Structure 1
Amino acid sequence: QLVTMAEARQRRGKKEGAPPRTNGAASDPPKSKYKMKSKEFPLVPLGAFFAAVFLVLGSVYRKFGPTMFFGHAAYDLSRTASEWRSFLDGYGEGGRGKTVLLIGGPHRGGTTILWKALTAHPEISGLGDTFRTGSDHSEGINIQDVYPRFGVGMEHLMKHNPKWQNEMTGVGRYALGDEKEVHLTEDDERVTPENMARIMNRFGSYWNLSTPVLTEKSPPTAVMSRFLQALYNLDPSGGGEGKRRSVTKFLFITRHPLANAYAQQDLLGGSQAGPSLETLLKNYVQMHKYLKSDMEVLENDPKIVRLEDFASDPNGELRAIYEWLGVDSSDDTVRWILEEGLGEKIRSEPNKKYQSMWCRSDGKDGTTDWWRYVTAEEYQKDVDELGLGYDMKGWCRGGSAGTKTEKKAK
């Protein structure tokens, strides 16, 4: 059978997979594989974007835990002020009266290492680590909403914004703000049963309520101790503060003023980014002036320890504090806490780096030495009047601790 040329071409096209021709009209060309890829291409950066988001959220979660997503209020307890007062008086978990230990002092003054050492004790409960609380260094002030927050959050983020630096009362400058805003006392209008229950319901969800000592640590406690004493000891029945046993004890830790100022500059991004050394020293002095005046009003024998004493003799300092709190202060307990429970070593010379920074000379003309002399001379009088026992003028001639007396803890 004869096959025409047209039929041959048609048969050959079918074998090779070519599209058949219809009535002489050209068929539509096959869709380009490159066009298909171009339509799918946006999915690649979209997937990368979501992967980056999940990585960021994952890293945030690993550090700050679920409270970063759900908020602290989601974990609040729901007791009334009367129920909390009864609990603190000894009619709740643990079957004995509680002590609320409040720790304060200058930022970078040693509050965190002291708090870690104390809460390693089995009879003392803290709020937990950063993952549990969602707060850097587990500072209670940053997870509550009853009183002002002077913390290490926005100050660090906004350190390059001069407008914010001038307006903020944060790290290294908060004590220099308006006294009625930063020096809180028992006369504050926020001392109410509602706020007492609010703060206890917030912190109570993080404490182990069966322990006899419940601890909260925030550096600005140093300027609001009288307010906190009134708040925690409030009698919802109307009997007034002082009618019942005081449940609060205050422990403050301080540090050589120059070492503390340099450490705060490190925290805030260096001398060019944060407050000047002069501002930091003024803040240090004013904070301690408030603290000294408040110590006369605080009950239950409030104490001040120096970081330098704590670092050089942690065994002795911890034992004395445990005895003061009425918990086990045996040698075995203290040894276990320092060797295992704490989980880190306490540096014996925490000021050494900053002493070197202060004592070095930048030039042969003596300019830096003269500035150092004038600064030390100016603030030495204030430090002496505060009774802290620090040597500013002679710091370069002595050890890194910079103390003039053996111990100045009350």
Structure 2
Amino acid sequence: MLPEQEESGVVEGSRFVFVGGLHRSGTTPLARLLARHPEVAGISGSGVSEDEGVHLQDVYPPIRAHGGMGRFAHDPRAHLTEDSPLVSDENAQRLVESWSPYWDTSRRLLLEKSPGNLVMGRFLQALFPGSALVVVVRHPVVASLALEKWNPWPVARNGRRHTSLPDLVGHWVRAHELLLEDAPHHRRLLVLRYEDLVADPSARLGEVADHLGLGSPLPADGIRAGASDRYTETWEAMRTGSPLARRRRRQVEERWGEAVSRWGYSLEDLTAVGPREALPTAAP
């Protein structure tokens, strides 16, 4: 019997913490900080990219089955909820068996981080009742420029086609629309803006610690300031740059300006961040 399993054979869901957020949103540094806490075990030594649990299991498809980075949220099949036929005690146990070899299961909380958790939190909650979800949100232009850097060619070696900056921002909008739709169904959801975390790491990590019921503070020394500066400078240069650069910026502003403002973000000034009260919360 696994340490995560009750006498009845049902997985004890309240032990699980899931971290989600689009690629280049800051989920990795947050997950690493959490895993340094003595009460939290993160997946480590797995040999897969960023020790993400999605690559270690065969219960649900990885995001590459839905178009991959910058595309997956547009595929309705990526949005898993409590209504999925994959929700079962057997599949919950299969996930635990896939992840347990890479956890220190003597710790109270067990952490799994994968970008797709952003759009499948309700599914994970159904598999592991009582589990917590922490979502990291980063400015859509910054996250999209950072992701675009990973795929600069029209067609990559693996056959993946380039996704334009306006389309990457559009994917950001769709993914976070799904999060807004899902929020009322969550019981333990915390949405954390990357910019707020960088501005005041101790305060925001204190919120995370409270959300998870940790008995001591999280370390705040792994949050690096200035990581968004180069992308802010790139965006500003696009204002008066080449005709193509100006056109790309204009497309983003015209298509997505209103949608991103819902999250307290501005396309005029990427460093301006609105009140945190606008962020979605779990059901009362």
TM class, shorter-chain normalised? 0.7 to 0.9
Change in 2 beyond 3 A, CA 1:80/1:253: closer
Q: Deviations over 1:294-314 (max 9, x none)?
A: 1110113x1111111111211
Of residues 47, 58, 62, the one that matches 1:149 is 62
Task: Give the fraction of aligned pairs with identical amino acids, expressed as a percent.
Answer: 29
The match for 2:223 is: 346
Change in 2 beyond 3 A, CA 1:361/1:211: closer
Any idea what SS the aligned residue of 1:216 has? strand
In the TM superposition, residue 346 of structure 1 has moved relative to its aligned partner by 2.4
Q: Which has the larger radius of gyration?
A: 1
Do structure 1's residue 100 and structure 2's residue 24 form an aligned pair?
Answer: no
Of residues 234, 239, 263, the one that matches 1:388 is 263
Any idea what SS the aligned residue of 1:296 has? helix
The match for 1:133 is: 46
Any idea what SS the aligned residue of 2:104 has? coil
Change in 2 beyond 3 A, CA 1:271/1:255: farther
Of residues 370, 373, 376, the one that matches 2:253 is 376
Amino acid at match of 1:350: A
Change in 2 beyond 3 A, CA 1:280/1:113: same
Do structure 1's residue 123 and structure 2's residue 47 form an aligned pair?
Answer: no
Of residues 162, 176, 189, the one that matches 1:288 is 176
Amino acid at match of 2:265: Y
Superposition TM-score, scaled by structure 1 size: 0.61
Of residues 327, 341, 346, the one that matches 2:214 is 327
Amino acid at match of 2:63: F
In the TM superposition, residue 88 of structure 1 has moved relative to its aligned partner by 2.0
Question: Hey, what's the Cα distance between the residues in 2 that align with 1:326 and 1:80?
Answer: 18
Change in 2 beyond 3 A, CA 1:308/1:363: closer
Q: Which runs of 4+ in 1 moved over 6 A?
A: 77-81, 362-367
Change in 2 beyond 3 A, CA 1:80/1:305: closer
Q: Deviations over 1:25-80 (max 9, x none)?
A: xxxxxxxxxxxxxxxxxxxxxxxxxxxxxxxxxxxxxxxxxxxxxxxxxxxx8799
The match for 2:141 is: 258
Q: What does residue range 168-207 of structure 1 map to in structure 2 within 5 Å?
A: 169-177=67-75, 179=76, 181-207=77-103
Any idea what SS the aligned residue of 1:268 has? coil
Does the 8 Å contact 2:11/2:93 carry over to 1?
A: no
Which stretch of the first structure deviates more once superposed, 260-269 or 214-223?
A: 260-269
Does the 8 Å contact 2:205/2:220 carry over to 1?
A: no
The match for 1:297 is: 185
Any idea what SS the aligned residue of 1:379 has? helix
Question: Hey, what's the Cα distance between the residues in 2 that align with 1:186 and 1:87?
Answer: 16
Q: Deviations over 1:303-352 (max 9, x none)?
A: 1111111112111111121122111234xxx4xx334xxxxx42212211
Change in 2 beyond 3 A, CA 1:187/1:168: closer
Any idea what SS the aligned residue of 2:120 has? helix
The match for 1:232 is: 128
In the TM superposition, residue 401 of structure 1 has moved relative to its aligned partner by 3.1
Superposition TM-score, scaled by structure 2 size: 0.87
CA RMSD of aligned residues (A): 2.7
* Greater RCO, 1 or 2 (C-alpha within 8 Å, sep 6+): 2
Of residues 302, 315, 318, the one that matches 2:205 is 318
Q: Tell me the number of residue pairs that the alignment of Structure 1 and Structure 2 aligns.
A: 275
Amino acid at match of 2:229: K
User: Unpaired segments of 5 or more residues in structure 1?
Assistant: 1-76, 90-97, 152-166, 234-245, 340-344
User: Unpaired segments of 5 or more residues in structure 2?
Assistant: 157-161
The match for 2:159 is: none
Any idea what SS the aligned residue of 2:135 has? strand
